[in-house]
Structure 1
């Protein structure tokens, strides 16, 4: 468990992180087919939706998770992490898709001589989770672990270098997006968490990791002239008794 291992490494509540790793995405049970891990190969339901609607469905799983947790009387600390684990982060894929569609619409509008004001702008806040940002070390760890684990599923032919780059990129992006500003993680904590994520992912993906091949030396040609006479040990000694004497 990524979150549990990282929490142990920095002295945070590892048990809470492990429990929240199970429950943080419970809201996806409401509309499971709209999330990548549950989609079939035949159909992606987002293909029939506008990016704004897709983002609404994705973002809603946090509130729906909190509602389920309250209904089943989960511990408040678990509920807090369910609510905080995406912070105010951006649903990047659908945001970029909306921007591309907007650019295409503007290009088409020029051809059709439409007014640019008639094409609605893409508002970034419409594609961000409502927060709050992680307030505790445990909440931040679960948030980072969720992002890293999700991204690791798309790694093709994972290598130690790719895993390290993935972990570093996600943590750097969360820091630059100010998602860790309200928790009490230190820079040392973040470094240790990154190291633990890399190690744990290496163990999780071990069977898939493409390690560099070790160079093998070509075998030294065998000199048959130096080969021992294998018959020496099987020859009868000169003084061996006749067979009939055995």
Structure 2
């Protein structure tokens, strides 16, 4: 078992077989994990938590997506969204299952127990909101159609929120909570159009407040003061990653044009430059 900072540094080797598999089988998830690691490490350092532990655990937090990588937005091909052929409940089951499948892989590869804990806790008991909302909409459409067809409402299945929630447990430590927050914020940041400091600040604050109101941080010992510091560190790190960049001129050409962020390379440029129109937002997972 890993017990020292040096041991955690040794565990951060990106040549681990699971991480090597991710680079080939789920490159979008691999890149997402690297960015989550940067966010989590910076936030942990800012509040005096174990930053190296956060980095290592962030590398592995989504290894369960190796089982069905094509069902997660960051790995989807341009042509097809496999969720188009599935009911929202089935899509949610596949998304939620990546936690258990990640734990199974971690046990198979004999990863440290702290890594396994964070894999299991990084979504807590949160809801897969995209597919939950989709199910509610389909339910409303079915009710409207049922009235036309004179069907009884009892014949239309109810949408149960618990079917769209992860099994938990909620994050139990500061490090687990930091990785959890970094995961959801990094995912959501990919959907930002024309990122600005104000948009980034709003995104970070709203997502942290949502986790608090959903009681996902109840079991860890983060204070409100520490959450404020974490939010500030997330904002700063995201701003550095999402800022505009200079358009380098060709030889003999003069230009001072700044390319807007969305026209430049996105953080997931190594994976894809666009997604199927029907794909759920990255944050759906």
Same fold at TM > 0.5? yes
Q: Who is 1:81 aligned against? A: 118
Q: Secondary structure at the match of 1:95?
A: helix
Q: Which deviations, in whole Å up to 9, do the C-alpha atoms of 1:162-183 show, x marking residues without a partner?
A: 0000000100000000000000
The answer (yes or no) to whether the contact 1:51–1:95 under 8 Å persists in 2 is yes
Q: Who is 1:111 aligned against? A: 148
Q: Who is 1:162 aligned against? A: 199
Q: Secondary structure at the match of 1:90?
A: coil
| Distance (Å, rounded) in 2 between the aligned partners of 1:102 and 1:178 | 27
The answer to whether 1:64 aligns with 2:105 is: no
Q: Which deviations, in whole Å up to 9, do the C-alpha atoms of 1:29-58 show, x marking residues without a partner?
A: 000000010011211000000000000000
Offset at 1:143?
0.2
Q: Who is 1:52 aligned against? A: 89
Q: Which runs of 5+ in 1 are unaligned?
A: 212-246
| Distance (Å, rounded) in 2 between the aligned partners of 1:207 and 1:12 | 31
- TM-score, scaled to structure 1: 0.84
Of 129, 135, 151 in structure 1, the residue corresponding to residue 188 of structure 2 is 151
The answer to whether 1:132 aligns with 2:169 is: yes
Offset at 1:207?
3.0
| Distance (Å, rounded) in 2 between the aligned partners of 1:63 and 1:162 | 34
The answer (yes or no) to whether the contact 1:20–1:81 under 8 Å persists in 2 is yes
Of 219, 234, 241 in structure 2, the residue corresponding to residue 197 of structure 1 is 234
The answer (yes or no) to whether the contact 1:109–1:115 under 8 Å persists in 2 is yes
| Distance (Å, rounded) in 1 between the aligned partners of 2:182 and 2:66 | 20
The answer (yes or no) to whether the contact 1:159–1:210 under 8 Å persists in 2 is no
| Distance (Å, rounded) in 1 between the aligned partners of 2:198 and 2:114 | 35
| Distance (Å, rounded) in 2 between the aligned partners of 1:207 and 1:30 | 36
Q: How many residues align?
A: 211
Q: Who is 2:74 aligned against? A: 37
Q: Who is 2:225 aligned against? A: 188
| Distance (Å, rounded) in 2 between the aligned partners of 1:48 and 1:60 | 18
The answer to whether 1:11 aligns with 2:42 is: no
- TM-score, scaled to structure 2: 0.73
Offset at 1:210?
5.3
C-alpha RMSD of the superposition: 1.1
Of 65, 70, 80 in structure 2, the residue corresponding to residue 28 of structure 1 is 65
